[in-house]
Amino acid sequence: MTAAASASGRMTPEQKRVAGATMVGTTVEWYDYFIYANAAALVLAPQFFTPAEGSLGSIIAFATVGISFLFRPLGAVVMGRVGDRYGRRAVLITTLIMMGVGTTLVGLLPTYATIGVWAPILLIFLRIVQGFSAGGEWGGAALMAVEHAPDNARGKFGAFPQLGVPAGMLLASAVSAIIAAVLSAEQFMAWGWRIPFLLSFVLILIGHYIRVKVQESPVFHELEKTKQTETAPLSTLFSKHPKKVVQATLVFMGNNTAGYMLTGGFILGYATNKLELNAGDILNIITIGSVAWLISTWFGGVLSDRIGRKKMFIIGWVLLLSWLFPLFLLIETANLAWVTVSLVVFGAFMGFSYGPLPALYAELFPARIRLSGASISYALGSVVGGAFAPTIAAALVGKFDTTVAVSTYLFIWVAASLLATLTLKDRTGADLYPHDAETEGVDLGKRNETGPENL
């Protein structure tokens, strides 16, 4: 435990800087990601995939959202190695810049009408850059927050970077809604959709300014001091901890799949194209749902410190499973009040299995390979979970002409995450610092495992 970590869990000035840096930086990163998802639902098909007609254009546009996920594991591998060998702080700064530059350039891209096939090619390339960046960013931010935290407040501290995701979505939806309200439909389609992308350049400057002032993780300092930094974290991870990677991947898969119904643009696209609801109204509702998600993410992290990570995840999964079928049944009414209820409850239930994730991952993996383990598991969970969830959902609706098929698909994935959670040991409060046993692949959970009652 660091000297800065107080028994009361009260935040020191440095811990406040870390919390702010991880949340603000992650907010900027995911703002970038979500404005692309919104654009995929509203404008990308006619602007960049003109030859594709009808629903095919929408499916291809959503597929570009998923393509970037395929490069998350690569970003996780590269940035995981950087973070485990050179420090968490370097990862935070590098990934933020990459994401911001990629997003800004999307706002400057010529359309298919201007440069033909080069338009979708360049768009996909920039999506790859964003995917690579996102693959490395989350692990660095999550571990910086948790490794600076007091032992009895890791869920609370780890919730800060998690808050950046609904906050980024909130910001992206709000900006898109304002632009849609101010501009005519013709203006928005012609050039207005570029504004949210170009605003990313300003946000990236703010996020970079905050992150460069953060000190390195005390856990990594201890690794350097004891000369235990890992030179080949990926090899060590998969040779000594493959089961943990599989468990961690499956645990995140369900939340990511369900979340991308909201964040990946599917619900926005379905409500506006299929149900013919006003895009501005739906963006406003998604904004309200983001607030519910943000609040429950915070409470999910805080409560996990009291009742344990495993129990908190199980509660989150059960709540989410109970809402997957009512979610779309209420949306199908095309009544804005019921649509609001559906998305607010959906957002609230998602947070309980999202807020505790950084603390759970940090306590699952040994210090020497923790950033690689957390980043790769998160990236793989994104690939098998949310990567093509909007595309699959659109295809299911096209084939079966009912959203019941989508609810069933989500139910299966979330249920799989629940089952994976049941296989985990609750390591709430386990020692995060390096030990000699880690070099031998010993399961530290057996030695350091403590329950929430011991915090």
In a domain, 151, yes or no: yes
The C-alpha torsion from 431 through 437 and 438 to 442, rounded to 10°, is: -100
Higher model confidence: residue 206 or residue 425?
425
Residue pLDDT, tens place only, 270-319? 898 889 898 878 888 888 888 899 999 999 999 999 999 999 999 999 99
How high is the pLDDT of residue 274? 87
In a domain, 201, yes or no: yes
Q: How far apart are CA 108 and CA 291, in angstroms?
A: 30
> In b/e form, how buried is each residue of 283-293, taking b as 16+ CB within 10 angstroms?
bbbbbebbbbb
Number of C-alpha atoms within 13 angstroms, CB side, residue 163? 21
In a domain, 5, yes or no: no
- CATH at 94: 1.20.1250.20
Distances (CA, A) of 181 to 15, 51, 166, 273, 281: 39, 29, 22, 18, 9
**What is the 8-class DSSP label of residue 273?**
I
Task: Determine which of 10-19, 153-162, 404-413, 439-448 has the lowest per-residue pLDDT on average.
Answer: 439-448
Contact (CB, 8 A) for 354 and 41: no
Tell me the chain's radius of gyration from C-alpha atoms.
21
How high is the pLDDT of residue 362? 93
The interaxial angle of helices 88-106 and 118-147, nearest 10 deg, is 150
Alpha helices (runs of H) in 212-277, residue ranges in sequence order: 218-225, 233-240, 242-263, 266-269
How high is the pLDDT of residue 332? 94
Contact (CB, 8 A) for 252 and 381: yes
In a domain, 382, yes or no: yes
In a domain, 2, yes or no: no
What residues make up the domain containing 406?
A: 14-232+241-454
Residue 140, pLDDT above cutoff 80 = yes
Read off the tokens for 169: 């979505």
Task: Determine which of 25-39, 49-63, 320-334, 358-372 has the lowest per-residue pLDDT on average.
Answer: 49-63
Total residues found in the chain within this entry: 455
Chain mean position to CA 30: 7
Per-residue three-class SS string for 360-403: HHHHHCCHHHHHHHHHHHHHHHHHHCCCCHHHHHHHHHHHHCCC
For the chain, give me the number of helices (H) and strands (E)? 22, 0
Alpha helices (runs of H) in 148-194, residue ranges in sequence order: 154-182, 185-190
Instruction: Name the one residue in this structure whose structure tokens are 């011991």.
Output: 454
In a domain, 3, yes or no: no
**Residue 440 exposed, middle or buried by CB count within 10 Å (0-12, 13-18, 19+):** exposed
The interaxial angle of helices 72-86 and 233-240, nearest 10 deg, is 110
Number of domains the chain is built from = 1
In a domain, 185, yes or no: yes
DSSP secondary structure string for all residues of 196-216: HHHHHHHHHHHHHHHHTTPPP
**CA diameter of the chain:** 64
Of 57-66, 79-88, 112-121, 444-453, highest mean pLDDT: 112-121
Contact (CB, 8 A) for 265 and 38: yes
In a domain, 289, yes or no: yes
